Amino acid sequence: MRPYFYVMIIEILKSKLHRVRVTEANLNYIGSVTIDETLMRAANLIANEKVSIVNVSNGERLETYVICGKSNSGVIGINGPAAHKCRVDDIVIIMSYAQMEFETAKTFKPAIVFPDTATNTLVP
């Protein structure tokens, strides 16, 4: 009989945009969050990736997916029904997670970005 080996898979933080300002809240859009492409690259996020959004301004939490916004625009657009949970000028944290083996996760370093909250641009 062959031995069975079990690999523990855990979910950890992969990417984080810490304290960005909502620039748009469009209730009549089909859904998602629009993120400036420059911020997406810095945070290692891709289009259609699932993200969690925590609204620092009011405590709301939600999950949606990313769509790519214009580079260097500073856009953080909360679209569709999620617009009920975020208003323009709210401060939010956007996070994505990855599943990986426990041992790999011990040394994994997430991409954490601290943009200028007033402009949603990268701080040099």
Strand partners, 68: 35
3-class state of residue 40 by DSSP: helix
Model confidence pLDDT, tens digit, residues 9-31 = 999 999 999 999 999 999 999 87
Residues 6+ apart with CB under 8 A from 36: 69, 70, 71, 72, 73, 74, 75, 76, 120
25 contacts 77 by C-beta, under 8 angstroms: yes
Please identify every residue annotated as catalytic.
32, 65
Helix or strand holding residue 14 (H, E): strand 9-21
Is the per-residue pLDDT at 53 higher than 70? yes
Structural domains in the chain, sorted by start:
12-105 (2.40.40.20)
Closest CA to 11 of 114, 110, 113: 110
Let me know if 107 is exposed, middle or buried by CB neighbors in 10 A (0-12, 13-18, 19+). exposed
pLDDT band at 1 (very low <50, low <70, confident <90, very high): low
> What pLDDT shows up at residue 3?
67
